[in-house]
Amino acid sequence: MPSLDPGRNLLAIGQLAERSGTSVSALRFYEQNGLIASERTAGNQRRYRRDVLRRIAFIRTSQRVGISLAEIRAALESLPDARTPTRADWVRISARWRRELDARIADLQHLRSELDGCIGCGCLSLATCGLRNPGDVLGETGRGAVRWDSASHPDADEE
Contact footprint for DNA (CB under 7 A) = 1, 6, 12-15, 17, 23-26, 28-30, 41-46, 63, 68-70
Q: CA angle 40-91-96, nearest 5°?
A: 105
Q: Rounded to the nearest whole angstrom, what is the least distance from the CB of residue 47 to DNA in the complex?
A: 8
- Rounded to an integer, what distance in angstroms lies between the CA atom of residue 144 and that of residue 141? 8
- Single-letter amino acid code for the residue at 67: I
Tell me the number of residues near a second copy by CB under 8 A: 59
Q: Is 61 in the site for a second copy (CB under 8 A)?
A: yes
- Amino acid occupying residue 151: A
Inter-residue contact 129 to 157 (CB < 8 Å): no
Q: Is 35 in the site for a second copy (CB under 8 A)?
A: no
Buried b (16+ CB within 10 A) or exposed e, 21-38: ebeeeebeebbeeebbeb
**Residue ranges that bind a second copy, judged by CB under 8 A:** 7, 15, 18-21, 49-51, 53-54, 56-58, 60-61, 64-65, 84-88, 90-91, 94-95, 97-98, 101-102, 104-105, 108-109, 111-112, 115-116, 118-119, 122-127, 131-133, 137-139, 141, 144, 156-159
